[in-house]
Structure 1
């Protein structure tokens, strides 16, 4: 907890300075806030690797069963993330302005709303779990496992929502270290639970292991934010009347993000429909290629979380020039790290795919597909981190529209044109092209934004 407090004090002292801090000092702040957030994202990716590797040993059909519903689980997870961000950005701006009491009121509203919202999503997920694989064009051989996986995931949504909210609140208060440690613990628990459940229940066992790990860490994160955080710990003596403005502000930030996740995941689901007729090998290769590539872009999301905190608190303190500097430095750092990760992945991906699946056909096809997309990593990094910085300033609508225009106007259109001739490789070429377009659009918005 001591290092977390040191980071919070570092940012607070920078916000109180009359003069703009030097570039080295700002870069140091970006780095110190980014490292724990990157580690947190990497541990979440390790959970995906663990699930994929353990399930992959059951055969291509098991990997395809998870792959066919993965875009749908991302959709629900993205909606939960939108709610978390809508509240966390407000908390960051209040903390930056020195209004900790206001931040605590935001947290209380967030906990109640998040629990209700995730309950609604859970109910919807349970209802559609059985017909979902049929809607997505899954083969009869994988439908049962796909339905069971999605059902168990849906039942655990309240835990995923609350741990996401608590982690976002801790990060936006400046405490990046505690969520990183707890996410690493969740990864360890996932390994233990998967070892216990996959061997008995196969694909459903993977979902159950991940769900139980999320439940355990959910309680730990809630304890950290509600009872241990210096700026956010709940004081029972403080009144907390209903505040319509808090929910309105959450909706203005989170609603565009929610629509963005719906549209992007809708496009990914449509991509799944495009790939499904190519057969089980293509579906399995696509699924594990997406999982492998995530280790390249998740550091970008970690830096984006740090940028949201730094920009949000700077805007709350009225330091708009400092906010823009943090935005630019974070984007440059994200591009550098993801570019290096992409170069490394280009050479080691065959070995990674041998770890994730024993099927040589799936390994070969996944390697070819992923290597096409890796050329877009610098642009992908720019889009991720620029979006995170803009969210810290409360700007989520325009980035949302730019993302939608890119993925629907470029990725899906080119995928449909190329899948017949190039198969899965055509879909991944379309992805590469679209990510380059998206990065250019988001950087343009970031530079033109009126800080």
Structure 2
């Protein structure tokens, strides 16, 4: 049995955990998730670099619809968490049969949601770039890219659902391994789909490597195929190999159950609404950036990709916080719930402070990897160095939110995110962009992230963000310990 499994068992059987145990458990669960997050960003780096070699227009065509893709991903994540948080509560309380029942319901409703988003995405793909204010030189490629992306949404939903179920049941390693594999597959698929055929010489012999030469569309198709392969492996291991969620352990029904759906909607509806509103805000931000020109759009898109390498440790720690807080709530252990949340936030802020320092000093090098265009590099470097100062408080908001989600508390945190984004970032970005262009947009982003982190810390330390009223204790739990 792995060390983290032994520590997780202490939560369920209500044994005391020392401070060292708690820190060790957070780190052990965070590291695989952080590595998975980083490998995903490396995939985006390679994607962006591959497309960037085609020119600024090709990069801008993807950057234009990136916020819309985040919206779809956010909705898939929200649906997944609606069921995964329930699994964390059931596993924490030792009710594994009900946890598997929740999994069955999650598969039904999750795939239904994925198919619905797929259809909507395909319908709007021809007009989406026009709505976003894209220039005539990028509209066609943007439209085709988003259409192919939309075809892969059901597989993305299945992958998100299966990965979050694995994590909430305590298995952080497998999703990390499979998502890393997905990054490798994406690079391989992109290599053969984006570029034209190439002749190479090996030991005096000439070979032609056949490639599809699909350009921007090849990048979308490569990413979609990587999701397809990974989603099947992720769901198979969840349903047939998982320690707690293996569906072969008893005959269960896939018939829809109102009680599970009701709880899922209570958790995921605020998250989904938040993601729509947040990504709508990102789209609004794109509308602010779009008139600034192709160079600004490309620099904005590449800078977001570059910065994401810095905040992935925050999301990895947030995943660990969701799992540990969720299982502690399921085990009905309030002191442990609070302790896991606060320690996770502290670790996240420390790590992302270090990442912020690295971002500041290596901003130009990161941009140089992504694009050969010097104008895009210089502008991207400037905005990244501004954003570096926001990383500690950004970590606070990310990890706090992960802890709140684990407790099933999503409404107020979602409202906090929306207020911060719409009332602080967008209004400030609009006015500053008039005078300072893209630099003004990123100054607004930095200020808003600092404000958001502050209000999340206030809620963590002084707000009421968890309760046990809706969690039924398992009869076999032992009622001693912290």
* Both proteins in one fold, TM over 0.5: yes
Shift of 1:242: 3.1
More deviation, 209-218/229-238: 229-238
- Within the candidate set 120, 123, 141, 2:119 is matched to 123
Q: Hey, what does 2:138 align to over in structure 1?
A: 142
Partner secondary structure for residue 239 of structure 1? coil
Give the equivalent residue in structure 2 for 1:13: 10
Do residues 347 (structure 1) and 372 (structure 2) align?
no
Structure with a larger share of its residues in helix: 1
Match of 2:375 in 1: 361
Aligned match of 1:328: 342
* Aligned positions of 1:17-416 closer than 5 A: 17-19=14-16, 21-199=17-195, 200-235=213-248, 237-240=250-253, 241-416=255-430
Structure 1 residue 14 displacement after superposition: 3.7
Contact 2:159 2:231 in 1 (8 A): yes
Q: Distance in 2 between matches of 1:135 and 1:17?
A: 54
Counterpart-to-counterpart distance in 2, 1:407 and 1:358: 32
Structure possessing the higher radius of gyration over alpha carbons: 2
Q: How far does residue 18 in structure 1 lie from its aligned partner after superposition?
A: 4.4
Q: Aligned partners of 1:140, 1:242: CA distance in 2, in Å?
A: 47
Q: How far has the Cα of 1:17 moved from its partner?
A: 3.8
Q: TM-score, normalised by structure 1?
A: 0.98
Distance 1:291 1:410 in 2: 22
CA distance in 1, matches of 2:13, 2:240: 27
Deviations along 1:364-415, one digit per CA (max 9) or x if unpaired, are 0000011111101000000000000011111000000001110100001101
**SS of 1:141's equivalent?**
coil
In 2, distance between residues paired with 1:356 and 1:65?
Answer: 15
Is the Cα–Cα contact under 8 Å of residues 15 and 319 in structure 1 kept in the other structure?
no
SS at match of 1:201: coil
Shift of 1:237: 4.1
Return the alpha-carbon distance in structure 2 between the equivalents of residues 445 and 268 of structure 1.
25
Q: Deviations over 1:260-295 (max 9, x none)?
A: 111110011011001111100000000000000000
The Cα shift of 1:235 comes to: 2.5
Deviation at 1:360, TM superposition (A): 0.2
Aligned residues of 2:271 and 2:410 also touching (Cα < 8 A): yes
Check the 8 A contact 2:353/2:391 in 1, yes or no: yes
Give, in angstroms, the shift of residue 50 of structure 1.
1.1
Q: Distance between the aligned counterparts of 2:326 and 2:119, measured in 1?
A: 33
C-alpha deviation, 1:40, in angstroms: 1.0
Counterpart for residue 476 of structure 2: none
* Cα offset, 1:16, TM superposition: 2.2
Which runs of structure 1 show a deviation greater than 6 angstroms over 4 or more consecutive aligned residues? none
Instruction: Check whether the contact 2:325–2:407 (CA below 8 A) recurs between aligned residues.
Output: yes
| Displacement of 1:305 | 0.7
- Contact 2:11–2:327, Cα closer than 8 Å, also in 1: no
Distance in 1, Cα, partners of 2:243 & 2:73? 28
- How far residue 358 of structure 1 moved from its aligned partner, in angstroms, is 0.5
Distance 1:18 1:356, change over 3 A: closer
Please give the root-mean-square deviation of Cα atoms over the aligned residues, in Å: 1.0
1:27 and 1:189 mapped to 2: Cα distance?
34
Q: Give 1:244 deviation, angstroms.
A: 0.7
TM-score, with length taken from structure 2: 0.91
Per-residue CA distance 1:161-217 (angstroms, 9 max, x = gap): 001100000000000000000011001101100100110011110010011011000
* Offset at residue 320 of structure 1 (A): 1.1
Structure 1 residue 114 displacement after superposition: 0.8
What is the deviation of 1:236?
Answer: 7.0
Task: Measure the CA separation in 2 of the matches of 1:153 and 1:43.
Answer: 20
Residue segments in structure 2 that go unaligned for 5+ positions in a row: 196-212, 467-482
Q: Distance in 1 between matches of 2:463 and 2:118?
A: 37
In the aligned structure 1, how far is the partner of 2:160 from the partner of 2:14? Answer: 32
Q: Distance in 2 between matches of 1:201 and 1:228?
A: 38
- Could you tell me which residue of structure 1 aligns to residue 200 of structure 2? none
